[in-house]
Structure 1
Amino acid sequence: MRRLTLGVFYTTGSIIFIAIFFTLYHKEFMIRTEPYLSKNMIPLFNPHMQSFECAYEAQQLPPVDAQAEAWFLNAQSLYSPEIFFRDRDYQRITQLLARAANRHHWKAILNLASLYLDDNNSQRDEKYAKTLIESGIKLGIPTAYDRMGTYYSTGTYVKADPTRAYALWQKAAKMGSPSAQAFIGEKLNASHDSTDGTFWANRKVSLQMLICAIAQGNSDAAYNLSFRYALQPDRAATREEKQYALLATHHGVRLGCEKCANKLFLQFSNPFDLDEMIVPFIDEARAKRYFTLGKALEFDHFLRFPNLDKVVPLPPAPLPPWNGDRDTLVNAAMGVTPVHFFDESILPGKSRFDVQPPFALHNTHQTTDAKQAPKEGYWRPLGPDQQPVIDESGKPVRPGLYKQNETFTSFFLPHSKPAKPIENIRWEYWITTWGDREAVEPRAPKDLIRVVPRPTPFVSSASDQPCPRTGTWQPWVPADHPLAQLINQHWRQAWVVAGQPFPQPKTDWWLDLPDLKITWHLMDDTPVNINQPLPPSRDSQ
């Protein structure tokens, strides 16, 4: 069944299907969903849709509150596979995720739902997991629709209903959920329709969905895309198609695809069919490195290897000498950051107006005229003139922290006797940010990213210029860019050799945004040396 995983990079696996009557998919009526979806009639799944317009989930998501992100990253670190499951502090993990979810941190909502379905969690609660996913649907989170589809497939606190499951998966894919795109894309990648409703022939849309998903960092899509190129239904794959398959598989390893690493291990060592080889030649040294990375991903599927080309570049690039140590290879392939992991307390400040370092406040310009806070966060009162309300000392009222559904403070007209409340107050929503909002500081859970000194002086380069210095480079766009949550990630980093071009969104990420202005920033210029162990991250010392 599709796995419900806890992590920044939730994944989907295979699914055990109940037979679905094919005729249902062609009826032009809608299925009525649960009350939380009553205003959105969900179209039935249509496996023979004529086209698919790629949508990116990052463009649909609510803004991320930095303090909520800190709680989320801490929770993820406590869930590390390095910690034996019986030693995990589930109470602390739940507490951290709940605090983040209260500020509408979308990943925290999804992961908290997964936590309540974890058999090792003494607080397992399918009903509450479903409630959390419903809240994500109300927020318009595409992957919440995908997750609810999985619940209907598996019968998780709902009656199993594969028809409804597919309808929700299709909805999620069209909204931009990469996991739903990867899943449906794989099911449509057939040369004929199955008789039991488990796969269909729609390779055109399959390709569109898989490319859209891999552009968003989905590793399953990379694996399926490699097969889409390498295995043609009625002919042998061309040399160009095999090259695309190799690039997709290698990119999948970057994104944390265990199956991709194992596939390249077999391809470079002992391919099953020489006619279907996607690699140019047998290379045992490369095979051993992919095998090692695959084993690391088997142990920890949260790992990502953005610096893969640093340790195992594709031919004809030569391999750097390696001492054979697993940790040396894995650490060198991981992403890097100049900032320490922030172990944030879940306790609020002494006053509702406190903003704990290293955070600052940013105005989202979202407003409400409700009497209670629609969600937890910082809210600032605006008078009828849309200017900040003035307090008794004559100063504008600062944004204050309110819990969800907490009644907002009342304010009164100055010098009025008896005191007369200010009418028609609107409240604007502020989120916390990491100090300097535009600072290039990729973040990830502890043990999934190495902390290294930032090179000095700070070096940046436009994406259309050749790389000025060999090293690990981080792509970055302004924080208010609609795709910032998709681009400004540690797994987007790349090891680039001086003089070579930087990765391009369309050709290297499958991200079809040719006009996207990306700036690359040097994160680490330490020379390649995997012939001896890397120094430990400063956070682990």
Structure 2
Amino acid sequence: MDATQLPPHLQALPDFNPHVASFTCQFEALKTPPIDAQANDWFLEARALEDPLVYDDDLDYKKVVRLTRQAADRHHWKAMLNLASLYVEGRDPPNGTKEAVTLVSQAMDLGIPAAYDRMGTYQLNGTGVFGGSGDAYALFQRAAEMGNAHSMAFLGEKIDAGADGLKEGYWGNIPVAIKMFECALAQGFGPGADELQYMYNVPRDSKGDETGMATPETLARVMRAMHEGVKSGSKMSAISLFVEFGNPNHAPQYVYVPFLDKARSERYAMLADALSFNPDRRFPNLDRILPLPPAPLPPWDGTRDSLLAAAMAVTPKPIVPAPTEASTRKGRYFLEAAYTFLPTKETSNGPTAPVASFWQPTATTGSAELRAFLGTIHPGLYQKGEAFEALRYPGGITKDDISRVVWQRLLTVHNNDGAAEPRAVRTLARQVERPHPPMVCDDHAVCPITGTWQPWLPPGHPLEQTVNQPWRQRWLRADQPFPNVKQDWMLPLQIGELKWHLIEAEAPKRN
């Protein structure tokens, strides 16, 4: 068998090289398949069922598996990897480790960077595959090159030593390590910030060597990185800030906060505890309740719930649309009114559906009669491997015309007239009423109203998966500039592509 015909997890990769000369930040969202909105809602419902507050024996894993599989069947890449985890955990007998490896291999075949990272973990732990650390690190390297933040943070920590051999399994390549950490953090992976404390605290040259002592500028850079880490879910960053503001335990010249502040320390400690209990938490609106100095510390009632509620993401109540034509249809042609269709570039001229999805017959060539006929056929839901319905031959349409037909895949998107509607696991976000009237600002503007703002791209945009997320939103004061998405988040966007939508205005303070 030709090597390229082997399953992706059995194909040879270049050996891991800890001494690569450079690293270019890639975004995973640009490599993954587009996400179907209905599949994403199933996925989020499944994630909400796996609540840490519920005892494991009381979790409805049958429903979790069913919802996750429904989403995975539509190539929801996160669902595919979660389903593999459920198989490994034995949540869906007789599916187990073998089926998990097959599923992750299929995800690799789709070009999903996180699948390479997952297969590397399987290799490292001997989970259904046997390759050892060399093969595992080669997979991590490929995943990082493709844009996977987890692999970036993992490898960055392995190559941020001062030199090779200081500790077994660690190498010296600090410049590349820093780039990996920064790229991981820019994609919302909080642990990418953890090692930056040691990378940023002193000036360095192009080789990563220290060129002097810590300065106010380098220490302020550490503080900002740790704070961003907390926003993105890093327990270690929260612990670091708890220690720094409360009782630093290292040399004074490396203390990276401007002053001790027990009140700030207490809040970071509570956030660290919440992240220890549930690492899926994110605190994008942290500045609302715990801004960095020199901003004053806002009042707080001292309760855990109010701290977390102020810092967590907010999501608007979904728009309830009127019934649509598709919601009145029957069988495979039915689609809930909550969704509408978005055509993709994915087509098939085979007899069966290559992936579970809505498909519609179309033709770019052929007679006018053919194109008019195809225009009368609604998108239909087909399962993977299900035969497409045979097309009849109405008057004026020939067998040659029918041979020109290809089936086009359609995604579902939320039927909300393009409103900003970030979705999150319901236990990890606070739902609010929509502001009325709605307010939208350009990305290069100044914030006009104090509150929580959501960056937003239109459906189908290549970076939609990484921008239209609750963890991207920010609490801003009036007259603050919106984040510079190119500089702060490394996003390859042009001015005007992104809009900021007000999600929740700050309530006026009472006298």
Q: TM-score, normalised by structure 1?
A: 0.85
> Gaps spanning 5+ residues in structure 2: where?
321-328
**Counterpart selection for 1:334 from 312, 325, 341:** 312
The Cα of 1:521 is off from its aligned counterpart by 1.0
Alignment-mate amino acid for residue 105 of structure 2: E
1:184 equivalenced with 2:155 (yes/no): yes
TM-superposed deviation, 1:479: 1.9
CA distance in 2, matches of 1:33, 1:132: 18
Partners of 1:221 and 1:419 lie apart in 2 by 58
Equivalent in 366, 387, 403 of residue 346 of structure 2: 366
1:500 to 455, 480, 504: 480
Q: Match for residue 258 of structure 1?
A: 235
Counterpart-to-counterpart distance in 2, 1:463 and 1:334 = 22
What is the CA deviation profile of residues 102-132 of structure 1, one whole-angstrom value per residue up to 9, with x for unaligned ones? 0000110011111222367766711111111
2:275 to 289, 297, 310: 297
Q: CA deviation at 1:365?
A: 3.0
Describe the shift of the 1:39–1:413 C-alpha distance in structure 2 as closer, same or farther (beyond 3 A): farther
Query: What are the residue-to-residue correspondences of 1:31-180 with 2, within 5 Å?
Result: 35-37=6-8, 41-118=12-89, 125-180=96-151
> Contact 1:246/1:278 (CA < 8 Å) preserved in 2?
yes
Partners of 2:352 and 2:417 in 1: CA distance: 28
Q: CA deviation at 1:295?
A: 0.8
Q: Where do residues 303-382 of structure 1 align in structure 2 (5 Å cutoff)?
A: 303-340=281-318, 350-382=330-362
Mapping 1:396-407, distance limit 5 Å: 396-407=376-387
C-alpha distance in 2 between matches for 1:529 and 1:333: 18
User: After the TM superposition, which of the residue ranges 332-341 and 509-518 deviates more from structure 2?
Assistant: 509-518
Judge conservation of contact 1:388–1:396 (CA < 8 Å) in 2.
no
Distance 1:169 1:394 in 2: 46
SS of match in other structure, 1:249:
helix
The worse-fitting range, judged by mean Cα deviation, of 354-363 and 232-241 is 232-241
SS of structure 2 residue aligned to 1:252: helix
Q: CA deviation digits over 1:4-63, x for unaligned, max 9?
A: xxxxxxxxxxxxxxxxxxxxxxxxxxxx79921289641111111111111111111111
Q: Partner of 1:5 in structure 2? A: none
Q: Secondary structure in 2 aligned to 1:58?
A: helix
Query: Are 2:332 and 2:382, in contact at CA under 8 Å, matched by a contact in 1?
Result: yes
The C-alpha deviation readout for 1:469-515, integer Å capped at 9, x for no partner, is 10011111222221111111100111100011111124433546575
* Aligned residue number for residue 220 of structure 2: 243
Q: Is the 8 A contact 1:102 1:375 kept in 2?
A: yes
Paired with 1:389 and 1:153, the residues of 2 have a C-alpha distance of 58
Letter in 2 for 1:290: Y
Give the TM-score normalised by the residue count of structure 2: 0.90
- SS of the residue 2:7 aligns to: helix
Secondary structure at the aligned position of 1:73 is classed as helix
Verify the 8 A CA contact 2:219 2:256 in the aligned structure 1.
yes
Give the match for residue 325 of structure 2: none
Q: Which moved more, 1:110-119 or 1:271-280?
A: 110-119
Q: Deviations over 1:134-190 (max 9, x none)?
A: 110011001100110111000000114111001111111111111111111121111
**Is residue 447 from structure 1 mapped to residue 421 from structure 2 by the alignment?**
no
- 1:246 maps to amino acid: M
Deviation at 1:391, TM superposition (A): 11
Alignment partner of 2:343: what SS? strand
Give the one of 462, 470, 485 matched to 1:482.
462
- In the alignment, structure 1 residue 430 sits paired with structure 2 residue 407: no
Q: Whole-Å Cα distance in 2 between the matches of residues 420 and 477 of structure 1?
A: 41
Q: Distance in 2 between matches of 1:192 and 1:420?
A: 68
Do the aligned residues in 1 keep the contact of 2:149 with 2:187 (CA within 8 Å)?
yes
Farther-moved stretch of structure 1 (255-264 vs 503-512): 503-512
Q: Return the letter of the residue paired with 1:118.
A: E
Higher helix fraction (1 or 2): 2
Secondary structure at 2:360's aligned position in 1?
A: strand
Q: Cα 1:417–1:151, aligned 2, differ >3 Å: closer, same or farther?
A: closer
**SS where residue 379 of structure 1 aligns?**
strand
Q: Residue in 2 aligned with 1:539?
A: none
The answer as to whether partners of 1:391 and 1:397 remain within 8 angstroms in 2 is: no
Aligned to 2:323: none
Separation (CA, whole Å) in 2 of partners of 1:390 and 1:370 = 19
In structure 1, runs of 5+ residues without a counterpart are: 1-31, 343-348, 531-541
Match of 2:256 in 1: 278
- Report the counterpart of residue 222 of structure 1 in structure 2: 193
Residues matched between the structures, number: 494
Q: Is contact 2:370–2:397 with CA below 8 Å preserved after alignment?
A: no
Decide whether the 8 Å contact of 2:365 with 2:404 is kept in 1: no
Q: Percent identity?
A: 41
Separation (CA, whole Å) in 1 of partners of 2:372 and 2:47: 43
Separation in structure 1 between the aligned mates of residue 367 and residue 356 of structure 2, nearest angstrom: 22
User: Alpha carbons of 1:316 and 1:528: their partners in 2 closer, same or farther (altered >3 Å)?
Assistant: farther
Q: 1:313 to 1:119 in 2, by over 3 A?
A: farther
- The alpha-carbon distance between structure 1 residues 224 and 524, as it changes in their structure 2 partners (threshold 3 A), is same
Contact 2:90 2:96 in 1 (8 A): no
Cα RMSD of the aligned pairs, angstroms, is 2.8
**Quick one: structure 1 residues 116 and 462, their matched pair in 2 at CA, closer, same or farther if it must change by over 3 Å?**
same
Structure 2: distance between partners of 1:220 and 1:200: 20
For residue 44 of structure 1, give the secondary structure of its aligned residue in structure 2: coil
Post-superposition offset of 1:464: 1.7
Q: Distance in 2 between matches of 1:170 and 1:297?
A: 28
Which residue does the alignment assign to 1:267? 244
C-alpha separation in 2, matches of 1:516 and 1:333: 28
Contact preservation (8 Å) 2:9, 2:119: no
- Contact 1:320 1:529 survives alignment (8 Å): no
Contact 1:42 1:167 in 2 (8 A): yes
Q: Which moved more, 1:377-386 or 1:248-257?
A: 377-386
- Write the distance in 1 (CA, Å) between the matches of 2:79 and 2:247: 42
Letter in structure 1 aligned against 2:122? Y
| 3-state SS of paired residue (2:340) | strand
Question: Is residue 2:175 matched to residue 1:204?
Answer: yes
